[in-house]
Structure 1
């Protein structure tokens, strides 16, 4: 999230920037009140603001009052930062509309906790104009999904009756990394054309608006689909085979997903799977953009911890390839069939979970359910092998193994579950 730091003292300004960057914020700086106000009048103005009270040209109190008096402005969270520590000064600052008040010197831990609280509030309050986004060429109808940095809307393209899903970036919250990820997602999805990958029709990204229009999938994410419909195990396996087909196509185009999980797999009314959200994808053939910090940070752990491969959990990003996605598919299949993670996770803390997954010790399905099919177990355990060289070497090979299993079950007249040996 972007934060405006308005502070005329360079030493304090540099210290604030250093601390905020460490907390994961993007900093926009101003050394006087007039410059701060000009920044706040831009279309892409930050919605989280740190204002020093005493500044040349316009003091922080006046800037705060202007922000809060502007009826056309969306919600902006203002923290007044000052050496004034008298009770009446704090009252004056809060009466001017400030949302928080900190006195110098500020403890870094306290500053971080206040900013994280402010970020949660800003993210919970969409910009005034975001009741329903205005996207040229589209009639936006209803909200169907939302995340920290984007919302998804059902919409109709003007002159084109079929409805689409419109993923719209919240540019008011987006950092440079988020912009880069969204742009990469658009680029990747335009290159992919497969029945089991959501198709993208149109897109735009700039400092005022970011969106793309894709297939409107009438259905649910895989986890919601299973919770709602409780399909038999063989149906789940068929869906995962379709996911493997989509991945095989993406891998053939040099793209690995890197964030495969049930919420990134949509299942439509005909039980067809479609892969979505290539925001963390990595190209194996095209050189990564130099400004893509997610690609340049050595040892950065990228993806959703529960579904990542051991090498991904270890931050070995140069080693990630299609076999890392295959591991994630194995985790998804395991969890959808057994309702348990392949590893016996003992902590809910993110870094403890990542550390445990990096070790790669997987429980065989039969250790949880002795009646689980040994044939299916072998397929899953191959996908979940700690050594990528021992996994399926292509998503297509895993899809074929799953379909061979399904075909044998059909020929043998097996039941619709996966708990019998085969």
Structure 2
């Protein structure tokens, strides 16, 4: 079925094709004729126009993204409503997402450090302006042809302090990247929860998979809170103890044990990879450290890191799959194969019962 907006105008923008479509929004490639440039246009589908929940969330995202101006937050050019349809006009980035990059194998260390630094600076900036992203994951990071990384999709962002469990004692996010304090009952959640997600991304870029994996999202959530932090060196023996230690600190179960800021984590990670820094370990083997940016390394064999959780632990828990949000944009064709257990697009709603059943709080 053809999309009804293709070939139509939204404001001053002509819609040319669909870039990404999900349960809560559609992103189109458009053209702004006045300056002759391609743009990405995020639109709330008509089916949700009479749903106050989706309208409020979309309008909140507009207010959030238009208030943020940072080199590594995807620029917003315009926002508004046309014929009752709310929309956001963003820069079009043709390099794909971090998820696309990870589909091709392990990125070189140079790329890992650049992505971590760029996104860390964006998260700290958002935090300074009272915003927690809450859904940092590979599909929400865009890459341009020059290797710059951009943070996008603030659709579930919130102010910089809230109680764990959120509205109605529920947690919203993508299971592999949710911080423990966002799961535990009554824990205060700050921007350090976004730093935890950045640590998960660093772990994933360095070994090919996130630290906690399972086909059951609830087991992943329980693991974030209860399971020991898996060794990055066991997943990828090329990783030095110094790097493993820095990533492990970022994945600490309690936020006060992490680095004071996301940029502090990024700097510590860069130092751990730099053998010229006092106390740093020797560099990784040449085949890892000297890889050119155009090359990718094969993934090490995946290791199952989630222990089986007893039925009693999960008896009071339930997971509800939310409508999958559209990728902000997709500059390349979708990959031929699906990444294993990336958990993208799955939001979890966890009642207080799961916290009690796990004996937390």
Same fold (TM over 0.5): yes
Matching residue within 131, 140, 146 for 1:255: 131
Alpha-carbon spacing, 1:136–1:159, altered in 2? closer, same or farther (3 Å):
same
Deviation at 1:130, TM superposition (A): 3.8
Match of residue 417 from structure 1: 288
For the Cα contact (< 8 Å) 2:274–2:283, is it kept in 1?
Answer: no
Matching residue within 133, 141, 144 for 2:19: 144
Match of residue 216 from structure 2: 349
Structure 2: runs of 5+ lacking an equivalent: 291-361
Q: SS of the residue aligned with 1:303?
A: coil
Match of residue 373 from structure 1: 240
Deviation at 1:247, TM superposition (A): 0.9
Deviation at 1:244, TM superposition (A): 0.6
1:345-402 deviation line (CA, Å, top 9, x unaligned): 4x42233332232325210112323442111111100100001100012112112223
For the Cα contact (< 8 Å) 2:106–2:207, is it kept in 1?
Answer: no
Q: Any residues of structure 2 matched to 1:4-43 within 5 Å, and which?
A: none
Deviation at 1:295, TM superposition (A): 8.8
Match of residue 105 from structure 1: none
Q: Does 1:298 align with 2:168?
A: yes
Match of residue 119 from structure 2: 243
What's the RMSD between the two structures over aligned residues? Answer: 2.9
Alpha-carbon spacing, 1:394–1:375, altered in 2? closer, same or farther (3 Å):
same
Higher helix content, 1 or 2: 1
Aligned length: 285
Matching residue within 65, 71, 88 for 1:189: 65
Match of residue 214 from structure 1: 90
Q: SS of the residue aligned with 1:129?
A: coil
Match of residue 172 from structure 1: 47
In structure 1, how many angstroms separate the alpha carbons of the residues matched to 2:185 and 2:87? 30
In structure 1, how many angstroms separate the alpha carbons of the residues matched to 2:169 and 2:153? 23
Worse-superposed segment, 295-304 or 322-331: 295-304
Match of residue 345 from structure 2: none
Match of residue 364 from structure 1: 231
For the Cα contact (< 8 Å) 1:298–1:315, is it kept in 2?
Answer: no
Alpha-carbon spacing, 1:244–1:260, altered in 2? closer, same or farther (3 Å):
same
Deviation at 1:405, TM superposition (A): 3.4
Matching residue within 350, 362, 382 for 2:249: 382
Alpha-carbon spacing, 1:413–1:382, altered in 2? closer, same or farther (3 Å):
closer
Q: SS of the residue aligned with 1:382?
A: helix
In structure 2, how many angstroms separate the alpha carbons of the residues matched to 1:148 and 1:155? 20
In structure 2, how many angstroms separate the alpha carbons of the residues matched to 1:360 and 1:298? 26
Worse-superposed segment, 194-203 or 205-214: 205-214
Deviation at 1:227, TM superposition (A): 2.4
Q: Any residues of structure 2 matched to 1:6-155 within 5 Å, and which?
A: 129-131=4-6, 134-155=9-30
Matching residue within 396, 403, 410 for 2:263: 396
Match of residue 309 from structure 1: 179
For the Cα contact (< 8 Å) 1:239–1:273, is it kept in 2?
Answer: yes
Q: SS of the residue aligned with 2:267?
A: helix
Q: Does 1:272 align with 2:148?
A: yes
Deviation at 1:315, TM superposition (A): 5.6
Deviation at 1:406, TM superposition (A): 4.6
Which structure has the larger Rg over C-alpha atoms? 1
Q: SS of the residue aligned with 2:192?
A: helix
Q: SS of the residue aligned with 1:219?
A: coil
Alpha-carbon spacing, 1:195–1:232, altered in 2? closer, same or farther (3 Å):
same
In structure 2, how many angstroms separate the alpha carbons of the residues matched to 1:418 and 1:310? 32
- Work out which structure has the larger RCO, using CA pairs closer than 8 Å and 6 or more positions apart in sequence: 2
Alpha-carbon spacing, 1:382–1:207, altered in 2? closer, same or farther (3 Å):
farther
For the Cα contact (< 8 Å) 1:234–1:416, is it kept in 2?
Answer: no
TM-score for both structures, normalised by structure 1: 0.61
In structure 1, how many angstroms separate the alpha carbons of the residues matched to 2:106 and 2:239? 18
In structure 1, how many angstroms separate the alpha carbons of the residues matched to 2:253 and 2:29? 41
Deviation at 1:146, TM superposition (A): 1.4
Q: SS of the residue aligned with 1:143?
A: strand
Match of residue 226 from structure 1: 102
